[in-house]
Amino acid sequence: MKYLSCAVYLLLCLGLSSAADTAPENNGFNIVVEHAKVDSLEDLLPKETDQPTALAEFELPEKLNMDTFDKELKSNYHFVEFFSPYCGHCQHLAPIWKQFFIDNHLKYESQSIYMRQVDCVASGDLCERESILYYPLLRFYGPGGKLISSFSLSDYTKDADGFERYLEDQLLELGEDDKNGMTKESLKALNKKNRMVQTPELLDIVGGLNEKPVLLSFWPSSDLEFNSKNFHNDFKQVELFKECPRCFDFRNIWSKVLKNLASEVNANEIEFGYVNCLSNQKICSSLGMDDLVRGDPADYDPRLFMFLPSDMEDC
C-alpha–C-alpha distance, residues 80 and 215, integer Å: 34
C-alpha–C-alpha distance, residues 118 and 126, integer Å: 8
Q: 302 preceded by cis ω (within 30°)?
A: no
Give me the torsion for CA of 163, 164, 167, 168, rounded to 10°.
Answer: -150
- The pLDDT score that the predictor gives to residue 284 is 95
User: In this prediction, what percent of the chain has a pLDDT beyond 70?
Assistant: 79
C-alpha–C-alpha distance, residues 162 and 36, integer Å: 41
C-alpha–C-alpha distance, residues 93 and 136, integer Å: 8
Q: Per-residue confidence of the chain (315 residues) as pLDDT tens digits?
A: 555 555 444 444 544 333 334 333 444 434 333 444 445 545 544 444 445 556 777 899 999 999 999 999 999 999 999 999 999 999 999 999 999 999 999 999 999 999 999 999 999 999 999 999 899 999 999 999 999 999 988 889 999 999 999 999 888 877 765 555 567 778 788 888 999 999 999 999 999 999 999 999 999 999 999 999 999 888 888 999 988 888 998 998 898 888 889 889 989 999 999 999 999 999 999 999 999 998 677 777 889 999 999 876 555
Q: Where are the beta strands (DSSP E) in 203-262?
A: 214-219
C-alpha–C-alpha distance, residues 242 and 235, integer Å: 7
User: What structural domains and CATH numbers belong to the chain?
Assistant: 59-179 (3.40.30.10), 184-308 (3.40.30.10)
C-alpha–C-alpha distance, residues 123 and 146, integer Å: 19
Which of 168, 188, 185 lies closest to 176, judged by CA? 168
